[in-house]
Amino acid sequence: FADILRAKGETRRAVTYYKKAVSEQRSIATSGRSAVKGGASKGSSSSSGSASSAAGRNGARRFGSPVAAAQSSEPGRDGHASIGEAKDQDTGSRALSNLEAELTFRIARCYAKLKDKQQALKLLESIEPDLRRPTMSLYIAQLYSELGMDRPTVSALRIGIQGSPYA
């Protein structure tokens, strides 16, 4: 919905919906982790079920199905996750982190469109470097350039071009 608002030019409203999506993703991530730590109980399985339906509602399936698979997996019979399930949990949290980074990037683009480039840059710098796509690094370089910061512009361009030489 926020993408549609942004395309229509209602950028400020889109920011609020993107922020809601990020906060919901964070709550899903924390409820998924607590379900794994808590063991196999009826409460934890129902919370992970609602979390996977909320993830589907927010488009998490569009970015990858490991999110739903990792959140819906239950621990083994002894109350501990097996090795394969632990890897699925890591993949699920990684997918959530990627989704969260993508949403943060979209929020930053909205702020840049609203002429709040400092806030946009602050948001983009908050994304962990290993989660940044080359597009994000190049956008950071563009913001640095518009703000007149030459050295960070060059280093962000270098990182972006290393990730995608044909960009």
Q: How far apart are CA 39 and CA 142, in angstroms?
A: 47
Tens-digit pLDDT profile for residues 44-84: 333 333 333 344 444 443 444 333 333 333 344 444 444 44
Long-range contacts, 19-22 (Cβ 8 Å, 24+): 19/107, 21/58, 21/103, 22/100, 22/103, 22/104, 22/107
- b vs e for 110-128, b when ≥16 Cβ sit within 10 Å of the residue's Cβ? bbbbeeebebbbebbeebe
Read off the tokens for 147: 């703000």
Helix (H) and strand (E) counts for the chain?
Answer: 9, 0
State the sign of the Cα–Cα–Cα–Cα dihedral 29, 67, 34, 129: negative
pLDDT of residue 69: 36
pTM of the full predicted structure? 0.61
Give the model confidence (pLDDT) of 90-149 as tens digits: 555 565 588 899 999 999 999 999 999 999 999 999 999 889 999 999 999 999 999 999
Residue 160's Cβ-count burial label (10 Å; 0-12, 13-18, 19+) is buried
